[in-house]
Amino acid sequence: MHKHMVFFSNLIIIFLIIIGFTVIEYNDAIYYQSLAKKQIENDVSLAMLNISEQLENYTFEQRTVSQTIANDMFLKKWIAEEESSSDFSVDVNNDHAANLYHYLKNYQLTYDYDVVFFVSSITGNYYYQDGFNKVVSKDNHFDNWYYNFLNLPISYDIQIDRSETNNFDVTLFINYKVKDNNGNVIGVIGNGRHISGLQADIKSLQEKYGLNISLINIGNAHNSYTGKTQYFKTAEALAKELDISPDIITKNYSEKHAASTSTRCIAIQHINDLNWNIVVEKDIDSLMETFLRKLYNSLFFIIVIISILVALCTTFLTHINHSLIKIQNTDELTGLPNNRIFKSDFDRILFKSKFFKKDVTLFMLDIDDFKHYNDSHGHLYGNAILKYVANLISSSISGDGICARWGGDEFIGIYYGTPEEVNSFFNHINEALAHNEYEPISLSVGIAYISSAKTSHSCSQKHNLAYYMNLADEALYKAKDNGKGCCKIYSE
């Protein structure tokens, strides 16, 4: 009887142990399944921020160029002189038309676009950099984009469409309305790049974050292109692919929207500047199956797996954080701080200088005749000049200040010293640049003194960064007027 009691007692203990381990591992499985899903959602959310910013940056130049041309007085004057006859512009040798072709060609070559075009609302003529294309018509389905765009209450739109002037290649177009002084639309200006550049950027982001990325048009004009690219899809096609309602995908969400299913983590974000919805998706099933299978092998194996996952996630998040900081705060070409970090650090620099009772001087400069280097030797040579100048200033200024790239060939910085010391510093820089490995280079520098009494703690006060930039900019123009290659100190 005693033996039976021991046997049954052991069975009960073993049974309880098995139940205990089963309960523990089941709870662990549920817990870590939830934890893993949250981690994926966090990864998706973090990646979404970077993806949105990079897509906006990718189209920023095209949008800016179209807006610049649309507001250019040359184009508006040209339109005012255009004759009403559609036959007028067919003559490529006509001086008036040739001026427009030359104008569009300059932009096309400068920014390496596939096409730069103008459609006149007066004649319906479609011009592009290589000549006259056609007269747009409501009866031509290829021209739907134009009439649909005119009916939208927006100044510009972004479209994926086929380019009639470039072998009908799928192209990313930025279209901008040209208006007269009374606000009437007198034409549409636009530029286009082959879609491969955008797709390469998205592919890089997909590989970087291990996500599936799709783009949906929800506010731009509809056109004749009904197909889909690898990443730019129709709402119906993507909804079917993700097994969710098209209404969820096409809503204009003010903030990131989660539309996850049991097998997928899905996030949707609207980009106002592009009128696109970004849909980011990651499959959960395969990860969960592998994780749960390993989890049930043993408690020890679970601990090992968890440790590995924590290490990988920590490394992954650290990498993303470092990448974000580098992307956001560093100019990719020169390696200098960019204007974003310079603006955000300006008040801190002033506070520090006031605390240590240092003189602080703001300088703004640009490379004289920089366009000459690009036009004569190409943009790669121009980039090399920018890098060379940036390295020379950065290594020379050392701990006496900071220098940032403001944009183009313009630089801005802070020097811990008087304006006279800054003047002397850049005179030495100009001497060094006059004898370099490329060709003589010179800088025009505007200098504005920031006294301790004027130091502000908040850019909302009277003397902020914009205030001192205006002073330095005024001095910079005087340096240009004085023959370039020199420094000018602002004085009232």
Sign of the torsion angle spanned by Cα atoms 118, 121, 126, 132: negative
| Model confidence at 23: pLDDT above 90 | no
Mean pLDDT of the chain: 81
> Taking residues 362-374, what's their average pLDDT?
93
Least trusted range by pLDDT, from 344-353, 366-375, 459-468: 459-468
Region 1-285: CATH code = 3.30.450.20
Contacts of 441 by beta carbon, 8 Å cutoff, 6+ apart: 367, 368, 385, 388, 389, 433, 434
* Residue 392 pLDDT: 94
Strands 212-217 and 185-194: unpaired
> Taking residues 218-228, what's their average pLDDT?
71
Tens digits of per-residue pLDDT, 264-296? 778 888 887 777 888 888 777 655 666 666 666
| Model confidence at 28: pLDDT above 70 | no
* DSSP 8-state secondary structure symbol assigned to residue 222: P
* Residue 491 pLDDT: 86
* The CATH number fitting domain 339-489, selected from 3.30.70.270, 3.40.50.10860, 3.40.50.300, 3.30.160.160: 3.30.70.270
> Taking residues 14-27, what's their average pLDDT?
67
Percentage above 90 pLDDT, the chain: 33
- The ranges assigned to domains in the chain are 1-285, 339-489
* Residue 386 pLDDT: 94
| Model confidence at 455: pLDDT above 60 | no
Q: Check: CB of residue 202 under 8 Å from CB of residue 213.
A: yes
> Taking residues 349-377, what's their average pLDDT?
86
> Taking residues 431-454, what's their average pLDDT?
84
- Gap between the terminal Cα atoms of the chain: 110
| Model confidence at 430: pLDDT above 60 | yes
* Residue 202 pLDDT: 82
* Residue 89 pLDDT: 46
Nearest-10 crossing angle of helices 285-295, 2-70: 150
| Identity at 291, one-letter amino acid code | F
Of the CA atoms within 13 Å of residue 257, those in its CB half-sphere come to: 16
* Residue 14 pLDDT: 64
Contacts of 202 by beta carbon, 8 Å cutoff, 6+ apart: 55, 213, 215, 230, 231
Percentage above 70 pLDDT, the chain: 75
In 180-296 the beta strands, taken as DSSP E runs, fall at: 185-194, 212-217, 257-258, 264-271, 276-283
44 versus 91: which is more confidently predicted?
44
* Residue 198 pLDDT: 79
> Taking residues 58-63, what's their average pLDDT?
86
> Taking residues 300-305, what's their average pLDDT?
60
* Residue 169 pLDDT: 86
Tens digits of per-residue pLDDT, 155-208? 998 888 888 888 888 888 999 999 998 999 999 999 999 888 878 888 888 888
Tens digits of per-residue pLDDT, 313-340? 666 666 676 667 667 788 989 989 998 8
* Residue 208 pLDDT: 81
Supply the pTM of this predicted model: 0.49
Q: Check: CB of residue 473 under 8 Å from CB of residue 445.
A: no
> Taking residues 244-253, what's their average pLDDT?
81
Q: Which two tokens stand for residue 83?
A: 């004759």
| Model confidence at 6: pLDDT above 60 | no
Tens digits of per-residue pLDDT, 79-93? 888 755 545 444 556
* Residue 237 pLDDT: 82
* Residue 142 pLDDT: 87
Contacts of 66 by beta carbon, 8 Å cutoff, 6+ apart: 156, 174, 175, 176, 189, 190, 191
| Model confidence at 457: pLDDT above 50 | no
425 pLDDT tier (thresholds 50, 70, 90) = very high
* Residue 88 pLDDT: 47
